[in-house]
């Protein structure tokens, strides 16, 4: 790594030294051993126990009890919010952090603003707010902070919004050597979404959450504008179960949808990757004709503070995974070449296997999950906006309000500000008397 040292200027030498001094060489040695280790393959899979979306009278009574418990938690200010927002929106053709991407179908509000308005709505509804912990990455941290500042933190108290950055790890070649991206820089990659928990602890914000009196952390991803981080049902079920970590899932569209599903692998709860599930089980259906393994993971979790202490309070206790890649790196001769190697990640859902109790809540995809990942097609800005309009125009129609005309194949152009309502019952309760017309759309705010 020092072979080009004499060619570097003082600033470049300082950068290289800083990167090298920050490394945990013991960890790098352990990661290098993963190249020779056979991946552990589970032999038995079981579907999870769901708290289903469609419920009988008994389960609905339990749901009402949970909503009361969750509402009490929110009213007591016992919930903090952890947003995973380390990605860039380059795949969407946008130059900036993904959270800055405009997705409001009428308002043009960014993902960050939609999430912020949901948190403000909960604070107004329950009379108490929490703190918002926003995980960035070295690539977008400065831009994210600037975006929040430019937009006055979207109406939130700046003192309740905290930024921290995900750690990066060097990639290794197949012989276990650290790869370089240039003569003075290591080839660094994010350490996986499990690293969010380690970064949360190492930044001092886990201590901050504890000192703030939080009992739970609501964990969610920036790219899903339908996510409900302040859902009293989910938070209440998690609390009543005495769970360490719980999850929301949606039913897979069909057996071919390439998403991980929650389930038990050799008796341990976690996320089973699409490629790890045998074909016979991937296609298996129960007596009602539903997929046996259909609990699609949407990366929405509730985590207890005590559980977080156990998982990452004294070093992250999650297994490492290797992602084998072809990477463009610096050769020994100082040229850019393609080399085989590996990036190393931890997965947050591996923590489910460490939780003695866990709730898996099934929610409606149309109401809570429409991610923005691809530039076009499914899971794109276009599909997310259509899903948002389809949901909100249904609320407006249910309330007896006029709905704009829709064009062929498109839902009516309608947007409901989360400050007005997050659910149909809340919208019917609020019954907003007016709306703003923007172009051919209508905005309830």
* Residues 379 and 364 occupy one common structural domain: no
CA distance linking residue 81 with residue 119, whole number of Å:
9
Query: Cα 88 vs. chain centroid, distance in angstroms?
Result: 14
* Residues 339 and 421 occupy one common structural domain: no
Give the pLDDT score at 434.
82
* Residues 279 and 393 occupy one common structural domain: no
* Residues 114 and 191 occupy one common structural domain: yes
Find tokens 């690539």 and name the residue: 139
Contacts by 34-39 with C-beta closer than 8 Å and gap 24+? 34/320, 34/322, 34/342, 34/344, 35/172, 35/174, 35/176, 35/322, 35/342
CA distance linking residue 51 with residue 237, whole number of Å:
9
β-pairing verdict for 132-136 and 79-84? parallel
Listed residue (44, 64, 73, 341) closest to 181, CA to CA? 341
* Residues 379 and 368 occupy one common structural domain: no
Q: Where in the sequence is the domain holding 393, given as residue range(s)?
A: 375-445
- Which of 347, 373, 399 represents a domain boundary (last residue)? 373
- CATH code, domain with 305: 3.90.550.10
- Which of 313, 348, 373 represents a domain boundary (last residue)? 373
Q: Which two tokens stand for residue 41?
A: 């393959």
- Which of 373, 396, 423 represents a domain boundary (last residue)? 373
User: Distances from the Cα of 16 to the Cαs of 4, 167, 186, 341, 415, in angstroms?
Assistant: 11, 16, 8, 21, 49
How big is the CA angle at 442 (ends 437 and 445), to the nearest 5 degrees?
95
List Cβ neighbours of 179 (8 Å cut-off, separation of 6 or more). 170, 171, 172, 173, 186, 187, 327, 329, 330, 339, 341
| Total of domains in the chain | 2
Residue 301 region, left (φ>0) first, then alpha (ψ -120 to 50), else beta? beta
On whether the CB atoms of residues 277 and 293 are closer than 8 A, the answer is yes
Q: What are phi and psi of 139, to 5 degrees?
A: -75, -25
* Residues 306 and 351 occupy one common structural domain: yes
* Residues 364 and 423 occupy one common structural domain: no
Give the pLDDT score at 40.
73
Q: Which residues pair with 338 in a beta bridge?
A: 328
337-340-344-347 Cα dihedral, nearest 10 degrees: 120
Give the pLDDT score at 407.
80
CA distance linking residue 50 with residue 256, whole number of Å:
21
List Cβ neighbours of 408 (8 Å cut-off, separation of 6 or more). none
* Residues 411 and 355 occupy one common structural domain: no
Positive or negative torsion for Cα 284, 286, 289, 291: negative
Find tokens 């419920």 and name the residue: 55
Q: What are phi and psi of 401, to 5 degrees?
A: -90, 155
Q: Which residues pair with 172 in a beta bridge?
A: 178, 342
Q: What are phi and psi of 198, to 5 degrees?
A: -65, -45
Q: What are phi and psi of 430, to 5 degrees?
A: -75, -40
* Residues 249 and 183 occupy one common structural domain: yes
Q: What are phi and psi of 410, to 5 degrees?
A: -115, 145
CA distance linking residue 23 with residue 96, whole number of Å:
28
* Residues 379 and 303 occupy one common structural domain: no
Positive or negative torsion for Cα 282, 284, 289, 292: negative
* Residues 10 and 76 occupy one common structural domain: yes
- Give the residues of the chain that fall short of pLDDT 70: none
Enter the pTM of the model: 0.94
* Residues 346 and 423 occupy one common structural domain: no
């Amino acid at each position: 790594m020092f072979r080009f040292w004499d060619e570097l200027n003082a600033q470049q030498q300082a950068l290289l030294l800083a990167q090298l001094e920050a490394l945990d060489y013991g960890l790098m040695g352990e990661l290098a051993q993963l190249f020779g280790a056979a991946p552990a393959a589970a032999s038995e899979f079981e579907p999870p126990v769901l708290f289903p979306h469609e419920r009988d009278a008994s389960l609905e009574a339990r749901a009402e009890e949970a909503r009361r418990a969750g509402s009490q938690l929110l009213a007591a200010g016992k919930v903090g919010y952890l947003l995973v927002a380390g990605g860039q929106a380059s795949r969407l053709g946008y130059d900036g952090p993904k959270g800055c991407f405009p997705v409001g179908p009428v308002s043009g509000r960014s993902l960050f603003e939609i999430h912020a308005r949901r948190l403000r709505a909960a604070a107004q509804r329950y009379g108490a707010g929490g703190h918002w912990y926003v995980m960035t990455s070295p690539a977008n941290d400065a831009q994210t902070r600037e975006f929040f500042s430019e937009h006055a933190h979207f109406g939130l108290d700046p003192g309740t919004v905290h930024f921290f950055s995900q750690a990066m790890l060097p990639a290794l070649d197949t012989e276990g050597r650290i790869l370089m991206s240039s003569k003075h820089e290591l080839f660094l990659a994010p350490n996986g979404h499990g690293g969010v928990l380690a970064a949360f602890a190492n930044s001092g914000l886990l201590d901050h959450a504890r000192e703030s009196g939080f009992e739970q952390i609501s964990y969610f991803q920036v790219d899903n504008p339908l996510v409900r981080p302040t859902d009293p049902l989910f938070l209440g079920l998690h609390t009543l179960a005495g769970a360490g970590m719980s999850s929301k899932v949606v039913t897979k569209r069909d057996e071919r949808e390439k998403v991980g599903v929650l389930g038990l692998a050799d008796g341990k709860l976690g996320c089973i990757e699409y490629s790890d599930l045998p074909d016979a089980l991937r296609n298996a259906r129960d007596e009602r004709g539903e997929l046996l393994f259909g609990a699609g993971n949407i990366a929405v979790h509730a985590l207890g503070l005590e559980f977080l202490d156990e998982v990452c309070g004294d070093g992250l206790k999650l297994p490492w995974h290797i992602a084998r890649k072809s990477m463009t790196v610096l050769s020994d001769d100082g040229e850019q070449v393609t080399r085989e190697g590996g990036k190393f990640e931890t997965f947050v859902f591996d923590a489910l296997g460490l939780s003695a109790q866990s709730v898996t809540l099934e929610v409606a995809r149309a109401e809570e999950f429409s991610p923005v990942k691809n530039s076009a097609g499914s899971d794109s800005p276009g599909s997310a906006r259509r899903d948002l309009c389809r949901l909100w125009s249904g609320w407006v129609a249910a309330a007896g309000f006029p709905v704009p005309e829709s064009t062929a194949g498109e839902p009516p152009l309608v947007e409901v500000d989360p400050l007005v309502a997050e659910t149909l019952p809340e919208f019917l309760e609020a019954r907003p008397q007016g709306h703003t017309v923007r172009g051919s759309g209508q905005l309830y705010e």
